[in-house]
Amino acid sequence: MSSVKIFSGKSTKYLANSIAESYGKPLGEVTLQEFSDGEMSPFFTESVRGCDVFLIQSTFPPADNFMELLLMIDAAKRASAKYVTVVVPYFGYARQDRKDKPRVAIAAKMMANLLSAAGADRIMTCDLHADQIQGFFDIPVDHLDGSAIFIPYLRSLNLKNIIFASPDVGGVKRTRSFAKFFDAELVVCDKHRERANEVASMRLIGDVKGKDVVMIDDLIDTGGTMCKAAQLLKDNGANSVRAVVTHPVLSGKAYENIDQSILEELVVTDTLPLKKDKPSDKIKVLSVADLFAKAIRKIHDHESISSLFIHS
């Protein structure tokens, strides 16, 4: 069987080191050479001929992160790697997954096309913004579920009157899976937007009086929706409100919004790096390193990854 080699782009090296350590192999070396105008030229400083290569890089802004990943895929294929699996803990541009108004790009589909065109043989990611994005790819997609990280943590809290809330209608399916696992009820915060990152109005569907509410979402950006939903839940009699979110994008005034909100805590994963100059005592980070390491091992051994899904 071919050997496994794990590499990382510069923006996700903090997580790739943990994944490689959990897997039991050192992280491979990639040198990123840059021309004076900023043009990138990554290259592997060790042979990958005949190897199963795993390239780890989240595709969050700036676009250089995605460009670096594409160049690494191409370099691996041209260096005769046997199989190239692209590990994208956070798949950026996934919010643009449909034509919701005239004359807009479907960026998620374009990203999928570019990864395939660069030579990726397989994609591994976690909690896509919409499950159907898997259909944008013509290559296998391993879509890991962040609930395997969050459910054990929520169990440890021993919340007596737990209820789950979706901060918008689009997240009901994701939230329902948590509610079903805990045999708990589900409520929905129905929101209306007039423009991106700005909530015009919100109303609660369901009863949360005296309940310990856990909001579920795939990502948090400015935090406006989450914090407004938390206040709505509290105003409707919730005992406590916390949020569980896989991808901490946290842009704009997100840290300020979270600190000033009534949220007990915001539980996230390390698919994205937190901004070190803006720490928050309310944010708790759980690592996905072990989950991805187990998935890499199973893929290399040609085993099913279904055991990694806690709902199964």
For residue range 238-252, list pLDDT tens digits in order.
999 999 999 999 999
> How would you class 66 by CB atoms within 10 Å of its CB: exposed for 0-12, middle for 13-18, buried for 19 or more?
buried
Give the residue carrying structure tokens 């939903």.
Answer: 229
Comparing CA positions, the residue from 140, 128, 155 lying closest to residue 304 is 140
Q: Are residues 169 and 62 in the same domain?
A: no
Pick left, alpha or beta for residue 133 (phi over 0 → left; psi -120 to 50 → alpha; otherwise beta).
alpha
The CA distance from 95 to 172, in Å, is: 16
pLDDT at 310 (0 to 100): 75
pLDDT at 194 (0 to 100): 58
For residue range 40-72, list pLDDT tens digits in order.
999 999 999 999 999 999 999 999 999 999 999
For residue range 184-227, list pLDDT tens digits in order.
999 999 876 556 555 557 889 999 999 999 999 999 999 988 99
Q: Is the pLDDT of residue 128 over 60?
A: yes
Contact criterion met (CB below 8 Å) for 42 and 68: yes
Q: Are residues 120 and 50 in the same domain?
A: yes
Cis peptide bond prior to 152, omega within 30° of 0: no
Contact criterion met (CB below 8 Å) for 100 and 69: no
**pLDDT, mean of residues 127-138:** 94
Residue 182 pLDDT grade (very low, low, confident, very high; cuts 50, 70, 90): very high
**What residues make up the domain containing 207?**
147-286
Q: Are residues 119 and 163 in the same domain?
A: no
pLDDT at 199 (0 to 100): 52
pLDDT at 100 (0 to 100): 85
Which strands form 122-126's sheet, in the order they lie side by side?
A: 4-8, 52-56, 83-88, 122-126, 141-144
Q: Are residues 40 and 109 in the same domain?
A: yes
Q: Are residues 11 and 129 in the same domain?
A: yes
Burial 104-143 (b: 16+ CB within 10 A, else e): eeeebbebbebbbebbbbbbbbbbbbbeebeebbeeebbb
pTM of model > 0.85: yes
Q: Are residues 130 and 159 in the same domain?
A: no
Q: Are residues 304 and 194 in the same domain?
A: no
Instruction: Name the least confident of 19-23, 128-132, 199-203.
Output: 199-203
For residue range 64-105, list pLDDT tens digits in order.
999 999 999 999 999 999 999 999 999 999 999 999 889 999
Q: What is the domain count for the chain?
A: 2
Q: Are residues 128 and 176 in the same domain?
A: no
pLDDT at 191 (0 to 100): 72
Q: Are residues 103 and 19 in the same domain?
A: yes
- The C-alpha angle 12, 174, 282, rounded to 5 degrees, equals 55
Q: Are residues 132 and 18 in the same domain?
A: yes
Q: Is the pLDDT of residue 275 over 90?
A: no
CATH number where 168 lies: 3.40.50.2020
pLDDT at 280 (0 to 100): 84
pLDDT at 168 (0 to 100): 85
The number of C-alpha atoms within 13 Å of 60 and in the hemisphere containing its C-beta is: 18
The CA distance from 312 to 306, in Å, is: 7
Q: Are residues 134 and 8 in the same domain?
A: yes
Q: Show the beta-strand stretches assigned E in the chain.
A: 4-8, 30-34, 40-44, 52-56, 83-88, 122-126, 141-144, 162-166, 186-195, 198-205, 212-220, 240-248, 266-269, 283-286
Looking at residue 46, its amino acid is E
- The token pair at 263 is 């949220």
Residue 312 pLDDT grade (very low, low, confident, very high; cuts 50, 70, 90): very low
Q: Are residues 159 and 32 in the same domain?
A: no
Q: What is the mean pLDDT of the chain?
A: 93
- The token pair at 125 is 């990611």
- The token pair at 196 is 């991106």
Annotated catalytic sites, by residue?
191
The CA distance from 163 to 213, in Å, is: 5
